[in-house]
Amino acid sequence: MDHDNMKNDDKTAEEKAIDDWLPITAARNATWYHSAFHNVTAMVGAAVLSLPFALSELGWGPGIIILVLSWIITLYTLWQMVEMHEIIPGKRLDRYHELGQMAFGEKLGLWIVVPQQLTVEISTCIVYMVTGGKSLKKFQESAFPNSKSIRTTYFILIFGSCHFILSLLPSLNSISGISLAAAFMSLSYSTIAWTASLRKGMYQENVDYSYRDKTTSRNVFNFFSAMGDVAFAFAGHNVVLEIQATIPSTPEQPSKKPMWKGVKVAYIIVALCYFPVALVGYFVFGNSVDDNILITLENPNWLIALANLLVVFHVIGGYQIYAMPVFDMIETYLTKQKKFRPSIPLRMAVRFTYVVITMFIRMAIPFFSGLLGFFGGLALSPTSYFLPCIIWLNLVKPRRFSISWWMNWTFIVLGVLLMVLAAAGGLSTLISSYTSYKFFS
């Protein structure tokens, strides 16, 4: 009996040692302001720069409604996730899939959450690869207009290479400085985008706010695809429990208090970034706006160069925020299931492989943006818009026909609609432009 207890104690000590090594649970000394800038970095990606384009495909009325509704719904579902982090007394649900397992069971919870979460996190990292590369290229063209043009592929290689170093930072907590800088950069380049647009707007004439395509069917699918673009701008839920896991928690001071304080600050900053960029950008350029507002803005050169450099610094932090939960999943599987010994060589092998794969996919596959609209609709809408509502109904069990019950079911219906329509729009975009694709372009 004593021998069995000793074995259990050893196993517990071994598991604790692994948890202390894994990226999400390695350190729990973050505060509310860590929560704030981690959430800003996760949420305000380069997707903010595509919001004027999305608005041009949605139109004024529907565009504003969808943007405002997305902000409200995702703030509500994020609050739900913060509340459910410690819904079981004495137990912390440190990862999204652990929350899914609590709601749907050990196996089904994994199958429901993990594929969707991985799709969002990996695709976001791939998008950030190309965003970083394109922004570096735009910086070079703006800062040195007479220099020789270099292919985007090489800039992606330059951007990706820095992640071989940064990916070796051991935990989510250890990238706090990078995340803080990235959050500041996102607010800065968003402000540059809408103020520069406003300045240019004084000289714009005959701005056209009609839908840009000639056929109704194409405009309808563009509308659906634009809904997916807006949804992609609210992808932060995929890392929220992992962020909360870095905050200490006691019965007197549960982690949800500082976490929610940070989330509220983050969502104010999100609003300050998203709404001015979307509304001012569309107001100034109408349906002639590019899918990246900084491309539409060509002057002054120094300001556009600066804005693109800020985007590069931001997506460096954004890539790490989304990569860390993926590292955690892989390293958890290898150490707990496959019994690999936690070590620096294991960490290097996992993380270098991931960086290489995300870099290669984006350089090789030119139609990844179309795929993003399709998979983004299928995977991102559930994880941010309605999966938290389903889990809430399952675990919290609000009284039937109460305000909470009605709100959750309303958001579930809206989220499912968004999922289906955005995926249809993304698939249509993919099919309509497949003839122009060239691998390694």
Establish if 175 belongs to a structural domain.
Answer: yes
Residuewise pLDDT in 10s, the chain (441 residues): 444 333 344 457 877 888 889 888 888 888 998 999 899 988 887 778 889 988 999 999 999 999 999 999 999 999 999 999 999 888 899 999 999 999 999 999 999 999 989 988 898 888 888 888 888 988 888 888 877 888 888 888 999 999 999 999 988 888 989 999 999 998 898 998 898 888 877 666 778 888 877 788 888 888 888 888 888 888 778 889 999 999 999 888 899 999 999 999 999 999 999 999 999 989 988 888 877 787 777 767 888 888 889 989 999 999 999 999 999 999 999 999 898 999 999 999 999 999 999 988 877 765 555 666 676 677 788 888 999 999 999 999 999 999 999 999 999 999 999 888 888 887 877 777 666 555 555
Helix axes 216-232, 60-84, angle to 10 degrees: 30
Establish if 305 belongs to a structural domain.
Answer: yes
Question: Quick one: residue 59, left, alpha or beta (phi over 0 = left, psi -120 to 50 = alpha)?
Answer: left
Q: What separation, in Å, do the N-terminal and C-terminal C-alpha atoms of the chain show?
A: 66
Judge whether 373 and 428 are in contact, CB under 8 Å. Answer: no
Establish if 5 belongs to a structural domain.
Answer: no
Establish if 224 belongs to a structural domain.
Answer: yes
Establish if 392 belongs to a structural domain.
Answer: no
Judge whether 224 and 54 are in contact, CB under 8 Å. Answer: no
CA distances from 87 to 12, 79, 83, 98, 394 (A): 23, 13, 7, 12, 12
CATH code (residue 45) = 1.20.1740.10
Establish if 67 belongs to a structural domain.
Answer: yes
- Residue 6's pLDDT is what? 36
Q: Could you tell me the residue range of the domain that residue 208 belongs to?
A: 36-387+413-436
Task: Domain count for the chain, please give it.
Answer: 1
Judge whether 86 and 92 are in contact, CB under 8 Å. Answer: yes
Establish if 350 belongs to a structural domain.
Answer: yes
- Residue 1's pLDDT is what? 41
Give the span between the Cα atoms of 427 and 437, in whole angstroms. 15
Q: What is the tens place of the pLDDT at every residue in 72-85? A: 999 999 999 999 99
- Residue 409's pLDDT is what? 97
- Residue 167's pLDDT is what? 93
Establish if 7 belongs to a structural domain.
Answer: no
- Residue 4's pLDDT is what? 36
- Residue 438's pLDDT is what? 59
- Residue 369's pLDDT is what? 57
- Residue 128's pLDDT is what? 87
| Strand, helix or coil for residue 88 | coil
Q: What is the tens place of the pLDDT at every residue in 225-235? A: 888 888 888 87
Portion of the chain with pLDDT greater than 70, in percent: 91
- Residue 148's pLDDT is what? 81
